[in-house]
């Protein structure tokens, strides 16, 4: 099991088709089913054959190449009047200590 964050899209790498969009917390999806394990040497022990040196192979599982794509959604808005010192807010968001440069969105 691989834990991925909410908003992950699982795509088939060969076709590019979307297999599932994991958009709910706790949602799970099986991409490839595992195989069946074989019988180990412990299964073949007997009173006369105490340490067998052979085992039975298992059946392999499915194999797929997938792409995991994370959707990010950032809804950030700054709705204030022009005289409300937007540069102070931008400085706090960007964690800058000096004044911002004279960009078109900056009010100093």
* Per-residue model confidence as pLDDT tens digits over 81-99: 555 555 666 666 666 555 5
CATH superfamily of 1-73: GTP1/OBG domain (2.70.210.12)
pLDDT attached to residue 83: 54
- Taking only the tens place, the pLDDT of each residue in 51-70 is 887 778 889 999 989 999 99
Which tokens go with 19? Answer: 């297999």
Task: Say what the pTM is.
Answer: 0.51
3-state secondary structure of 44: helix
21, burial (CB in 10 Å: exposed 0-12, middle 13-18, buried 19+): middle
Task: Please identify which residue in the block is written with the tokens 């808005």.
Answer: 77
User: How many CA atoms, within 13 angstroms, populate the side-chain half-sphere of residue 69?
Assistant: 15
Domain extents in the chain: 1-73, 77-108
């Amino acid at each position: 099991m691989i834990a991925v964050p909410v908003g992950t899209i699982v795509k088939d790498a060969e076709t590019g088709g979307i297999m599932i969009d994991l958009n709910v917390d706790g949602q799970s999806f099986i991409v490839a089913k595992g195989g069946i394990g074989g019988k180990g040497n412990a299964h073949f022990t007997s009173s006369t054959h105490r340490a067998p040196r052979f085992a039975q192979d298992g059946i392999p599982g499915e194999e797929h190449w997938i792409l995991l794509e994370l959707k990010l959604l950032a809804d950030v808005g700054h709705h204030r009047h022009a005289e409300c010192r937007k540069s102070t807010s931008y400085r706090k968001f960007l964690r800058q200590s000096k004044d911002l440069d004279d960009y078109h969105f900056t009010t100093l």
